[in-house]
Structure 1
């Protein structure tokens, strides 16, 4: 990329069931395409292997024709062509990917170290409203956010509120930051549809308010339902239409709780729950509604607020920071979580409650949208250019944590394989290589054929063939025959730092103890132990030099950990996401030490 040219922006699929993630990627494409030809960047759709399936392709079908190139991150060429056609490009490594792109965004709550990319943190809801987040997810997100703060060079936030939260929670982060405000980009067909036809299709009354939110706890439907109940008791009943998925994965009984509340409040006949509906139908219902209500207690950047803006709708919205930052032209704020204040605002502004389809208010909103769309596209272009500039400058030095040991300057990984879950383990090793690690050929058994276990074609992949049958009985035979797989860092990871991560079957801990000590290992990673007690017992008997143990099973997706106390005593098993795991015992900060996880990535990330 030359200084004056437009960058090739890789935009990865980040979701197929999370509507916010799907819409975000779609609108990044639409924003980039809205720019004039002399400014428009080349837009490349990147589909990670875990989203190479029919649902994800269907959700993003709107932007497939807009992509200059489509890249599937897989070695399975046949599957990629079956889903995306013969023109699709396939690649397995970052090195291959960056032959086709200059910059990658969004890297959702993750880091792509060493490559021009921007991590994306939409919000810190788990910090601001921890009561709505399961403990395990809360700890996981904290670990990921901390890793991003420590390792990312460039982070994009959805709002000033999110960026302020980041600086508050991670004041020592050296990452550069940028803000990209999401903007809804309307389709011409939206304004050609007939809201009455859609209303009649769903059997809805002529006059109604609408709320377009997933039925999650923080969306605060309870406040909305309470306000509708108060209006009914006052003799001013009004119908409410609710769209959006009805399941909250964090509280599977929440939707039934809301249904019980409707019955208790006596407003079942006034509230019409449609669930998830077609996007075009949703837009027509928005156009035909009297107004929109957004009672959410927390948002990263509310899509329904932007939808209402582009349609010229009056919207009653909670007074949280992000909503005030969005500042819609026809917005009316009420105190978050206060049904009495919402009721009062609905009564006071009843004259503003009118359908807007075909009105001058809607036309003016359409005209105003053009400038916002262009600004959205220019912001994306600016972020991409700045990202390329940051990574083309002198490499940024990441200071070693205070707890880092000083005994060398190389990162060493020692690993072996389990005979099941081969593709995921193979991806882990490849991801280590992508980070800059290089294989040490002296430890490779020459009698093994290094090949691709997925395609079975001979090649240069640093991965051995594995037995196809009776993996349990072949476990020891395979592992004994295959010496430790030793990777030596090709680059300095942190000044004066040396550490190792090993993956060996527990039955071989004793036999390999001497070799492990030779590599100065500070952590032991077992790819597929059958049980935590067995692994812990064998390890304690084998060595007293490990400060911590991590076990993860790519077959069952189960994960365990334990601390090794002085003398080789095993401490109580604990969650790897808890403080009891004592991450400071690693020579590199957890979770940035490369280790196996069940998604087959060797960067210590838990997607």
Structure 2
């Protein structure tokens, strides 16, 4: 008799509010497609918002064992009254409208305790929590005092409640132990991979024509946040142009964010003031398949970030078989084993030198079995339930 399939809950995040989180959850289910059928779990997506928009994205993945449940369920007046009486009698009573504890084995990735509230329909289901990184500890200036306080308080609550925790890298797990040595939480590292979308309908000829690509170029495909360190790339291009060296650089990514609304505006002004509008192009938030083709065909992908939990840009580049120039961070050293060179994140001259080398004497790209990385990610994902033991 075949063993029963595991039932895993995946919490979906709004793409408009957190693009990285949305792609992270989609990649979780895409990775499961690389497993033998007998190992594939049932996956229940817990969603808020418009189910049609969400399910359309997931349907294209063609995963065979999928269901959907809303995060928020309305109960009628009578049910609300009954629930209040139940709570008066027993604060841990199963309320009407709550999902049973065995709906799924666990839900992942949870970022806070919003799903554990008194009237949350998910309050009885096991949850596994994810801490993406500790950027607030290394670059507190990028956060408001209130946000720093809230982030630290949340991590201390994780420790107090002794909940199971997942980190995206060994570097982040080590940071947790360094900043919170008193913690006794069960922890696991889950190093995510990128799974490429179907790109058959997108040709390089069309993409290069759309974005007016002619000859060698570099691309830095980051969201426009201060810690992504776009300035050092602009400075490096400026140094090269002043030496009479022609170079083309593409920036992609959503240019507005609430926390730093002037960041992209100031970068564009800097490029204009330096007279680099011909060399540096801002493409904005573009189609993912088109962006991946641009990364694949670039002389190198430049990842200049000051901080990462586990870089999607790096994983995307590895998946398409590209070459990388990355800032010399412990996380990038952990993540980039092949096809990468490193530079000090504030050293524009060093970056400029690496750009020249990649353009004139490019190193041979070593082929890696990226599918093996994806299968390992999927198998590690299935073991998260061990954190609950």
- The normalised TM-score by structure 1 is 0.56
Counterpart of 1:282 (choices 288, 291, 308) is: 291
Distance in 1 between residues matched to 2:182 and 2:37, nearest whole Å: 41
Retained in 2: the 8 A contact 1:16–1:55? Answer: no
| Deviation digits for residues 333-370 of structure 1 (CA, Å, limit 9, x no counterpart) | 1111211111122223434549xxxxx959x44xx012
Q: 1:73 aligns with which of 71, 74, 99?
A: 71
1:108 equivalent in structure 2: 111
SS where residue 332 of structure 1 aligns? strand
Give the Å deviation of 1:332.
Answer: 0.8
The alignment partner of 1:235 has SS state of: coil
* TM-aligned CA distance change 1:93 to 1:126, over 3 Å: farther
Q: Is the 8 A contact 1:14 1:21 kept in 2?
A: yes
Cα shift readout 1:407-434 (whole Å, capped 9, x = no counterpart) = xxxxxxxxxxxxxxxxxxxxxxxxxxxx
Contact 1:310 1:369 in 2 (8 A): yes
Q: Indicate if the aligned counterparts of 2:33 and 2:63 stay in contact, CA closer than 8 A.
A: no
* Aligned-partner Cα distance in 1 for 2:36–2:384: 17
Describe the superposition over 1:136-194 as per-residue Cα deviations: whole angstroms up to 9, x where unpaired.
Answer: 2222212212211221421000111111111112111221000000101124x336742
Distance 1:8 1:261, change over 3 A: same
Give 1:241 shift.
0.9
| Matches of 1:3 and 1:327, distance apart in 2 | 39
Alignment of 1:157-176 (within 5 A): 157-176=167-186
Deviation at 1:376, TM superposition (A): 0.6
User: Match for residue 382 of structure 1?
Assistant: 383
* Aligned equivalents of 1:328, 1:352: Cα separation in 2: 20
Q: Offset at 1:303?
A: 0.5
* 1:337 corresponds to 2:346: yes
Match of 2:158 among 145, 148, 159: 148
Alignment partner for residue 314 of structure 2, among 305, 309, 325?
A: 305
- Structure 1 residues without counterparts, runs of 5 or longer: 78-91, 355-359, 391-607
- Contact 1:195–1:287, Cα closer than 8 Å, also in 2: no
2:39 alignment partner, SS class: coil
The corresponding residue for 1:7 is 6
Q: Structure 2: 5+ residue runs without aligned partners?
A: 76-94, 117-122
Shift of 1:76: 5.2
SS of the residue 1:96 aligns to = coil
Post-superposition CA distance 1:39-85 (Å, at most 9, x none): 211111111x4x446665566564586552111123359xxxxxxxx
Secondary structure of the residue that 1:14 maps to in structure 2? coil
Change (3 A) 1:15 1:94: farther
* Aligned-residue offset at 1:287: 2.0
**Alignment partners' CA distance in 1, 2:228 and 2:64:** 33
- 1:247-296 C-alpha deviation (Å, 9 max, x unpaired): 13212111111111112222111111011011111112112222110000
Where does residue 557 of structure 1 map in the other structure?
A: none
Cα pair distance change 1:130/1:62, threshold 3 Å? farther
Structure-to-structure mapping, 1:457-496, within 5 angstroms? none
1:127 equivalent in alignment to 2:132: no
What aligned pairs does 1:139-538 form with structure 2 within 5 A after superposition?
Answer: 139-187=149-197, 189-190=198-199, 193-351=202-360, 353=362, 364-365=367-368, 368-384=369-385, 386-388=386-388, 390=389
Q: Check conservation: 1:217, 1:248, Cα contact below 8 A.
A: no
Matches within 5 A, 1:35-114: 35-47=35-47, 49=48, 51-52=49-50, 62-63=60-61, 66-75=64-73, 95-96=98-99, 98-110=101-113, 112=116
Q: Distance in 2 between matches of 1:34 and 1:53?
A: 26
| CA distance, structure 2, for counterparts of residue 94 and residue 370 of structure 1 | 41
Greater Rg by CA: 1
Compare 317-326 and 59-68 and name the one that shifted more.
59-68
Cα distance 1:349–1:207, how it changes in 2: closer, same or farther (>3 A)? closer
Distance (whole Å) between structure 1 residues aligned to residue 177 and residue 124 of structure 2: 23
User: For residues 56 and 144 of structure 1, do their structure 2 counterparts lie closer, same or farther at Cα, with a shift above 3 Å needed?
Assistant: farther
Work out which structure has the larger RCO, using CA pairs closer than 8 Å and 6 or more positions apart in sequence.
2
Q: Does 1:118 align with 2:128?
A: yes
How far the C-alpha of 1:205 sits from its partner, in A, is: 3.1
Q: 1:7–1:103: 8 Å Cα contact kept in structure 2? A: no
Tell me the C-alpha RMSD between the 2 structures.
2.8
Deviations 1:306-345 (A, max 9, x none): 0111111111000111111102410111111211111122
Which residue is equivalent to 2:85?
none
SS in structure 2 of the partner of residue 190 of structure 1: coil
